[in-house]
A and B are shown apart, each in its own frame.
Chain A
Amino acid sequence: MKSATTQKLAFAALGVTTVLVTVPVLLILGLIIKNGAGAISWEFLTTAPRHGMREGGIFPAIVGTLCLVATAVAAAVPLGVLAAVYLNEYAGDNWLTRLIRLAIINLAGVPSVVYGLFGVGLFVMFLKFGSSILAGGLTLAVMNLPVIITATKEALDAVPQTFREVSLSLGVSKWKTIRHIVLPNAIPGILTGIILEVSRAAGETAPILFTAAAFYLPGLPKSVFSQVMALPSHLFAISTQIPNISMQTRYGTALVLLALVFGVNCFAIILRARLRARRKW
């Protein structure tokens, strides 16, 4: 009897704590939607900021973020997928594999601002890209490499071994087996990884602060060597560095960024659930 009561109490306490943990998510969402929705208009989304960013919209920041994300994806996806193919299909159980695994864990743990420093050191200064879409996008790509590798590796690992054995036993070469049998079956998982990378890259601030982001640039970028405004750095600037901006504009910018990131994330979650349900094995 006594232990049953203890259990009830313990479970109740655990349940309450869990609710406590999930409530902030809802509060943050609710707050930003409630206060930011009023700012959203066609003009806000499609015009450049005016009057010291106190009026006008956030169009250049949206475009800038899209450019940065596109660059990051273009650079990180091929490299990350191939790296995962190596780890899952070719690598033996040896020191090299352990070293690579350790490096991936480490890359995932490096602070975002340190990636910013790295980006300045390598892309902006050493390779002379300057503060640009290319430098910022590549910095984001390096940072998100572990996400892509881990997701792809998991997806490859989930493809049954028999698929490979059948293909190889029919005399198909190893690479053709990977290219035509393993990778197509792993696409859903890889896609989820890519989408998660997109959402992470879109929201990062510290790595692009000194490698790509401009404080104020009303025009649109002309090439990959242009500096850009980006949503996260814009939100940072208008909420800490410029006084007298209406709260609505700040909330509105936060809402657009959050909607972009959450929209992409929900898409990934739904896609993953759908494709899992449709899996044939």
Chain B
Amino acid sequence: MRFRATLTKIWEFLIEKAVLLAGLASVVFVVLIFIFLLREGLRTFATVSLSDFLFGRKWYPISTPPQFGILPMICGSALVTLGAALLGVPLGLASAIYIAEVAPPRIKEVLKTGIELLAAIPSVVLGFVGLVVVVPFLRQTFDLPTGQTALAGAIMLSLMALPTTVSITEDALTSVPKRYREAALALGATHWEYIHRVALRAAAPGIVAAVMLGIGRVIGETMAVMMVTGNAGLIPHSFLQPVRTMTATIAAEMGETVKGSTHYAALFAIGIVLFVITFLVNLIADSFLHRSKVTLR
């Protein structure tokens, strides 16, 4: 009896440690990702200085001497992200408000499933649809030499950001305490007045987080954007010009580069930039989410 009890105790102890190890796995992987990006990417800075890398305007990775300036890609990513935010944020907020506050339960379920399905469309399929539908449409409408533009990327990316923005905004709105609504309505406010004067303000931190997380997805999105933006490595001056994003550069060139070359290292260095940007965006979004939980308690 004694022996069995001890055995159980040892077993429990082992299990607990194994479970703890599994719990630590995510931390380990984040660290590993960072280490491997640094391990391969830092070599770039033996050839170019950090400021030439970030602010250089020329990306000629295989000419001699090679030039690794990623400013055009940073501008490309920024422009596409800005466009996607301008298109996606108003649409996302409006539909989240409609789903959370206005829609009858039945329609609400249908809409939520629809948004869930939008999130499920693989990005390569969205890119394909963008290539065969949106790109020709833009070329004809604006009479352009090519429809593969920043605008095409922004349109596809706004679709990809919508599900994130909608579902987190909706969460934020539905977690506004009931007493806020009761108090507003009791004071004679209409339902709409409650929504835009009370609910939107109370849910503001959560909504900011929703927008940030949507933007985080957009910055990191690769396939859809690579297929529709034309991949021209020039600093864009309008939404109707082709652009090349950081993600697309990695995806397009990784297959052709020699493993271990400076070009290969430079692609990892772009990866470091992306990792740092998305890390910060997610960190800020999470602090807003946390704040919304605290204020609404």
Contact = CB atoms under 8 A, between A and B. Distances in A.
A210 B275 contact: no
A232 B12 CA distance: 44
Contacts of A107: 26, 29-30
A105 B115 CA distance: 22
A28 interface: yes
Secondary structure of the A contact surface, majority rule: helix
B124 A236 contact: yes
A109 B281 contact: yes
A232 to B, nearest CB: 5
A204 B122 contact: yes
Interface in B241-270: 247, 250-251, 254-255, 259, 267-268
- Of listed B90, B116, B121, residue having the most chain A CB within 10 A: B121
A82 B23 contact: yes
A173 to B, nearest CB: 5
A91 B22 CA distance: 12
A60 B209 CA distance: 42
A206 interface: yes
A180 to B, nearest CB: 13
A26 B118 CA distance: 9
A262 B222 contact: no
A108 B30 CA distance: 10
A173 B6 CA distance: 12
A69 B115 CA distance: 24
A96 B95 CA distance: 37
Interface residues of B, number: 87
Interface residues of A, number: 85
Given A10-B192, A112-B123, A142-B33, 7 more contacts: A25-B117, A113-B250, A114-B274, A116-B250, A117-B37, A117-B268, A205-B122
Interface of B: 8, 11-12, 15-16, 18-20, 22-27, 29-30, 32-33, 36-37, 39-40, 90-92, 94-95, 97-99, 102-103, 111, 113-118, 120-129, 131-133, 159, 162, 166, 190-193, 195-196, 213, 216-217, 219-223, 227, 247, 250-251, 254-255, 259, 267-268, 271, 274-275, 278-279, 281-283, 286
Interface of A: 3-4, 6-7, 10-11, 13-15, 17-18, 20-22, 24-26, 28, 31-32, 78-79, 82-83, 85-87, 89-91, 99-100, 102-118, 120-122, 125-126, 142, 145-146, 149, 173-175, 199-200, 202-206, 209-210, 232-233, 235-236, 239-240, 247, 250, 254, 257-258, 261-262, 265, 269
Closest 4 A-B residue pairs measured CB to CB?
A111-B220, A203-B122, A86-B23, A82-B22
